[in-house]
Amino acid sequence: MDDSLHARSPAGLRSDAVRNRDALLTVARRSLAAGDDTLAMNALAKEACVGVGTAYRHFPSRQVLLEALAVDSFDKLVVEARDLTNNPDTAGALHRLIVAEIELQLDDAGLSAVLASETCACTDTMAVIGELGKLTSQLLERGVREGIVSAELDADDIRHLICGTAFAVRAAGRESLDSYVRVLVNGLRP
């Protein structure tokens, strides 16, 4: 039996368990969108009309819940990153990846929280962050070879810079996105 935690819905759940899980995710997503990032399991369970035990069975911790909320955004981000590694315009690809990641974080506070965290609770989240890091590294290595990216930066540095920029854009307003991204991209140069 696999005792590891997963952000994705486990296969073989009964239909009522799927409904309960989906209800909890819907309530949590609404809570985050309203600016409440506490994700208090008792309150979420009550609003989703499920027992607290059911809530904790699906999401044993806040981190597991955040990772489950971010699954769809991670999927979009990895697809985008894969496509961009095939783009011959390295500078354009890096810029597009940075913008895509910031925009997804602005739309999905769960993604932002997971990317800003230094650890993952779920094995599938670790795998997808690892894949995203690998794809980002490929673009960075190309950028270093082309002389447009500093060799001292790695994928984790970029992730942290993007998270910080997303935080700044969220605070200043979406209209600041282009200028903040321009500052970030200029800072990547050697």
Beta carbons within 8 Å of 33's beta carbon, 6+ residues apart: 109
DSSP state for residue 7 in the 8-state scheme: S
Beta carbons within 8 Å of 8's beta carbon, 6+ residues apart: 68, 71, 124
CA angle in degrees (0–180, nearest 5) for 124-143-70 = 25
What is the pTM (predicted TM-score) of this model? Answer: 0.89
Below-50 pLDDT ranges, the chain = 1-2
Between CA 147 and CA 56 the distance in angstroms is 50
- Output the six-digit token pair for 124: 């599938």
Between CA 169 and CA 1 the distance in angstroms is 44
Q: What domains, with CATH codes, occur in the chain?
A: 1-60 (1.10.10), 61-188 (1.10.357.10)
Q: Give the model's pLDDT for residue 2.
A: 44
CA atoms within 13 A on the CB side of 145: 8
Residue type, 155: A
Residue type, 150: S
Q: Give the model's pLDDT for residue 4.
A: 63
- Output the six-digit token pair for 31: 């809570």
Q: Give the model's pLDDT for residue 1.
A: 33
